[in-house]
Amino acid sequence: MVVAEADQRSRLVPPPWAPDCWGDEDRAVLVCRNVLEITHDVKSFHFEPEGERAFTFEPGQFITLLIELDGETVSRSYTISSPPTRPHLISITVKRVVGGPVSNWLHDTMVPGARITADAPLGAFTLTAPPAPKYLFLSAGSGITPVMSMTRTLFDLGSDADVLFVHSARTPADIIFRRELDAIAAVMPSIRVVHVCEGDYPSERWTGLRGRLSTAMLQDLAPDLHERETYTCGPAAYMASVRRILGEVGYDLRKYHEESFSFEDLPAAQVPPAIDSDDSPLSAGEADAGTTFSVEFVRSGVTVTCGPDEYVLDAAYAAGLRPPASCAQGMCGTCKTTMLSGEVDMRHNGGIRPREIAANKVLICCSKPLSDLRIDS
Ligand code: FES
């Protein structure tokens, strides 16, 4: 297997002292501790581990929930909104998505005492270590969760890093963690929080920055933009807009980090296509134009044809199969399965661990065949 692995980062926060830590390799049962209403359609779910354990992870990482829905196991990845500096609980913050099976299930059925199975934290969208002296956090909608974990971490650590956190929302009622962020900024001068709203809410006229993030707005808020390490999370269109703005001002994109899970709870039929094939690891010269490979999905009993320049997930969808998938970018691990035979070129973004790769696990959304394949799916 050919593998491109995400950068390995050293931990910003040392693992907590505990008899046992959950956070490296395993699947575990989590127990819901409490549920908090954050906005009219967003809730935070706090979980504790079963038994004498503590959570260890990096701010910005996600966990993958496995839920039984209509007799099928559905997996969804959610970024952790709590900081690793509070290792007794782990929280996710979930917006109810119209038609989204998992977010509605969580909102309607997850109550204190309920148990849920989850895969351990994963992901490469984390703060660099050592920390940068200046950060720019940009988020929109429920994309706030990873940068909230980062902000809470820096706050808990008493960091003197200069943080500018610009969050975009539709209306003031949609600003997630509004009061908590304002309270953090009120007591920690090194953290500045700016909310940007597109419009008013019926019960509140918005008096702050209005509209969508623009080049002029960002330059005005951050005249020292080029000195800041930037972390962005939100819907794909928002992040495309941020990249365009940063491109216009000549920002050094080596200091730019982004993640999107805006499609995290779409029905399977709406999962976006896999990574743009322009990223193909095989050049036109390397790929034999006439070559195709067979991919057998053993449990489905279906064999599909896949070109050398095509992602296995795309080939499966083209054939009418619906294997689980979420990010389609090698980040979330939802499409992880076992390769029973064959070889792939996998270019992931932190959604799989070295130990899993050694055990023939593969992310089919970012894998192209190098031979005929048999997949346990
Ligand atoms: Fe997210 Fe493949 S769908 S890693």
pLDDT, tens digit, 9 for 90 and up, residues 157-201: 999 999 999 999 999 999 999 999 999 999 999 999 999 999 999
In which band, very low, low, confident or very high, does the pLDDT at 216 lie, cut at 50, 70 and 90?
A: very high
Residue 283: its pLDDT value, please? 38
Highest mean pLDDT among 70-84, 113-127, 180-194, 279-293: 180-194
Predicted TM-score (pTM) of the model is 0.82
Higher pLDDT, 6 or 99: 99
Measured CA to CA, the distance from residue 182 to residue 192 in angstroms comes to 9
User: Looking at the predicted structure, is the pLDDT value of residue 103 above 60?
Assistant: yes
Nearest atom in ligand 1 to the alpha carbon of residue 330 is 4
Is 1.10.510.10 the CATH classification of the domain at 12-122?
no
CA 71 to chain centre: 26
Is 3.30.10.20 the CATH classification of the domain at 268-375?
no
For ligand 1, whether the C-beta of 346 sits within 6 Å is no
Output the CA 126–ligand 1 centroid distance in Å: 18
Domain extent listing, the chain: 12-122, 134-259, 268-375
Output the CA 109–ligand 1 centroid distance in Å: 26
Nearest atom in ligand 1 to the alpha carbon of residue 366 is 2
User: Looking at the predicted structure, is the pLDDT value of residue 104 above 70?
Assistant: yes
Q: Name the amino acid, one letter, at 230.
A: T
Specify the long-range contacts of residues 196-202, CB closer than 8 Å, at least 24 apart.
196/166, 196/167, 196/168, 196/169, 197/168, 197/169, 197/170, 197/171, 197/172, 198/168, 198/169, 198/170, 198/171, 199/170, 199/171, 200/171, 200/172, 201/171, 201/172, 201/173, 201/174
The model's pLDDT over 150-159, given as tens digits with 9 standing for 90+, comes to: 999 999 999 9
**Fold of the domain spanning 134-259:** Rossmann fold (3.40.50)
Nearest atom in ligand 1 to the alpha carbon of residue 335 is 2
> Taking all residues of the chain, what is their mean pLDDT, rounded to a whole number?
87
Output the CA 47–ligand 1 centroid distance in Å: 24
For ligand 1, whether the C-beta of 266 sits within 6 Å is no
The model's pLDDT over 233-251, given as tens digits with 9 standing for 90+, comes to: 999 899 999 999 999 999 9
In which band, very low, low, confident or very high, does the pLDDT at 21 lie, cut at 50, 70 and 90?
A: confident
Q: How far apart are the first and last CA of the chain?
A: 18
Residue 177: its pLDDT value, please? 98
For ligand 1, whether the C-beta of 122 sits within 6 Å is no
Residue 24: its pLDDT value, please? 58
For ligand 1, whether the C-beta of 363 sits within 6 Å is yes
Nearest atom in ligand 1 to the alpha carbon of residue 77 is 1
Our mutation pick for probing the ligand 1 site, out of 65, 331, 349, counting the most ligand atoms within 8 A of Cβ, is 331
